[in-house]
Amino acid sequence: MLTVADLLAEVRHASGAQNSLPGISDLSIVKQALQYFNSMHSWRTMMRAEASLSLVSGQDYLTLPEDYRDSAVIGYNQGIINWFRWTDPARLTELRAADDDDQDFSGGYWGTIEYRTPTSGGRPVQAISLYPQPVNAQADAFLLRYTSKLVAPGTGQAADTTYLQVIDELEPLLRRLTRIYAEAYFHRDGSDIEHRLQALEQSEWLMRLKEVDGAGQLELGEGEGGAAQRAEIDTGWWDSAVTDPS
């Protein structure tokens, strides 16, 4: 299992025992490597189990987990006739302006991904902006399945020994990315990071890693979306609960 401390050791080894660079900490180099890993591919093995999201009274957004990268699916967890539908920011603004409460807009929520500044202040956080604005608080109102990103927990007695949640096959990639950034900074002042990353992106090695990452489940189930499916909201009026098969 890979830790932040392991990646910090890669930085020190790649530096050739040089002292840390002015204004650039070893941890900042590790964080840049992790950020590139998060952006370079939608890793299937980074998909996490469902997370519960709660509605807050008077708050028109849902705060997403800190390690959220992108969504696989979200479901409203408050009864079979309720729903959630994605839309775009412009359409969400139109819905809020119209404030339509007829049957086509009741019983569920529309949402779009935005960065929101918490009421308590601080940096913007990724959130799902909602219409309509919740009137009542509801704990665990939604179930979210999402692909996660790696977030460096920092350094310290416990933080830098925290395991990074990746499969064993992807650990060498994180080490390689960390060395790419470290070697570029220590030996070329960071000027050739892009060239080093381009060589990695075009390598057979990386292609094989992506194949391994996507090989765990070959059958993805029935396709959804497209012209053949109904466009209106399926409220499930005639659905009944399924008995636990166990």
CA 19 – CA 98 distance, rounded (Å): 60
So what's the pLDDT on residue 210?
93
Span 183-197, pLDDT tens digits: 988 876 666 899 999
* Residues making up the chain, counted from first to last: 246
Q: In which residue are the tokens 């996660």 written? A: 148
So what's the pLDDT on residue 62?
93
pLDDT lower than 50: segments of the chain: 228-246
So what's the pLDDT on residue 245?
37
Q: How far is CA 63 from the centre of its chain?
A: 12
Tokens describing residue 91: 């359409």
CB contact at 8 A, 84 and 205? no
So what's the pLDDT on residue 108?
85
Residue 144 one-letter amino acid:
L
Residue 232 one-letter amino acid:
E
Domain residues of the chain, as ranges?
4-43+152-212, 46-148
CA 66 – CA 125 distance, rounded (Å): 8
Residue 172 one-letter amino acid:
P
So what's the pLDDT on residue 161?
73
Strand, helix or coil at 231? Answer: coil
Cα atoms in the 13 Å half-sphere on the side-chain side of 76: 21
Q: In which residue are the tokens 């310290």 written? A: 156
Cut 0.85: pTM above it: no
CA 174 – CA 33 distance, rounded (Å): 7
So what's the pLDDT on residue 80?
65
Tokens describing residue 55: 């509605």
Contacts of 73 (CB under 8 A, 6+ apart): 144, 145
201: part of which helix (H) or strand (E)?
helix 193-201
